[in-house]
Amino acid sequence: MTENTLALISFALTLMVFSYLLGDLPLIRHLYRIAAYIFIGMSAAFTLIVGYESLLLPFWQEAQDPAISWTALGSQADPVIFGAALLFAALLLLKPVARLGWLSNSVLAAVVAIGAAVGVLGALRGTLLPLLEATVRLPALDADIGSLLESLLVLLGTLMALFSFHYQVNPSGGARYAPGKVFRTIGKALIVTALGAIYASTILSSLTILTERIAFLFQYGA
C-alpha cells in the first residue's frame, strides 16, 4: 500500500470516529459504529495473533525443548504441565454440561485460587508494603525543614484519607465524635483533590492526542 492510500484510510477512519460528536443524525451515526466494529474485529484478530505467536507457540516450543526447564523438576516435567493446562482449559469448556459441572467448577476454582494467590502477594509486595514504606519514611533530621514538613503532611494526609474510608455509625444515634468528623472531612477533601488531579491529567493526555489528530486532519486535508 502506498503512503497516500494509508493516509487516506487513516483520514477517513479518524473522521468516522469524530462523527460521534455530531450526535444521533441519520446515516452519520452509522459511521461511528462501523469504525467501532472494525476496531473490535481488528483488536480481536491482533490479540489472537499475539496470544498464539507470543504465548502459546513459545510455551509449546519450550515444553518440547530439553534445554529449557520451567521448574526445578527438569525439562521432562514441562510437557506434563503443558498437558495439564490443556486438560484444565478443556474442562473449563465443559461448564455448560450440567453433569460435569462439579468438575469444571473445581478447575475454575483452582484457576481462580492461583490467580488470587498471585494477586494477594502482588498487592502485598508490589503495592502495600512499598507504598507504606514510602509514606512513613521521613527525611533525615538534618534535611531542610521544607522537605521534612512535606513528608509529614503527606503522611498525615494519607492517614486522614484512609480514615475517611472507614464507615462509622454511632450506635446510640447521637452526633459522631467531632475530631473524627474533622479528620474524615479533610480526608475526603484530599481524595476529591487526588481524583480531580487524575481527571485533569487524563484530560491533558487526551488533549495532546486530540491536537495530534486535528493536526493530521488539517495536514492531510490541505
- Judged by CB under 8 A, the chain residues 44 through 63 that form the site for another protein are 44-49, 51-52, 55-56, 59
Exactly one of 72, 145, 178, 222 binds another protein (CB under 8 A); that residue is 72
Cβ-based neighbour number of residue 64 at 10 Å: 12
Stretch that binds another protein, among 129-137, 138-146, 167-175, 176-184 (CB under 8 A): 129-137
Q: Is 116 in the site for another protein (CB under 8 A)?
A: yes
Stretch that binds another protein, among 71-79, 138-146, 168-176 (CB under 8 A): 71-79
Q: Please count the helices (runs of H) and the strands (runs of E) in the chain.
A: 8, 0
**Footprint on residues 146-175 left by another protein (CB under 8 A):** 150, 153-158, 160-162, 164-165
Q: Is 215 in the site for another protein (CB under 8 A)?
A: no
Residue closer to another protein by CB (options 30, 176) is 30
Residue closer to another protein by CB (options 28, 92) is 92
Stretch that binds another protein, among 138-146, 170-178, 194-202 (CB under 8 A): 194-202
How far is the C-alpha of 199 from the C-alpha of 109, rounded, in Å? 37
- Smallest CA-to-CA distance from 160 within 131, 137, 181 is with 181
- Smallest CA-to-CA distance from 38 within 57, 14, 4, 74 is with 14
Sign of CA dihedral 131, 135, 140, 143: positive
Q: Is 28 in the site for another protein (CB under 8 A)?
A: no
How far is the C-alpha of 21 from the C-alpha of 210, rounded, in Å? 13
Q: Is 41 in the site for another protein (CB under 8 A)?
A: yes
Q: Is 201 in the site for another protein (CB under 8 A)?
A: yes
Cβ-based neighbour number of residue 211 at 10 Å: 10
Residue closer to another protein by CB (options 174, 218) is 218
Q: Is 13 in the site for another protein (CB under 8 A)?
A: yes
Residue closer to another protein by CB (options 67, 172) is 67
Q: Is 94 in the site for another protein (CB under 8 A)?
A: no
Using a CB cutoff of 8 Å and minimum separation of 24, what contacts does 112-117 make? none
What lies within 8 Å, CB to CB, of 82 at 6+ separation is 59, 60, 63
Residue 24: C-alpha distances to residues 5, 32, 93, 158 (Å): 30, 10, 40, 45
Q: Is 182 in the site for another protein (CB under 8 A)?
A: no
Q: Is 192 in the site for another protein (CB under 8 A)?
A: yes
- Smallest CA-to-CA distance from 62 within 50, 75, 80 is with 75
The residue count for binding another protein (CB under 8 A) is: 115
Cell 518440547: give the residue.
Answer: 64
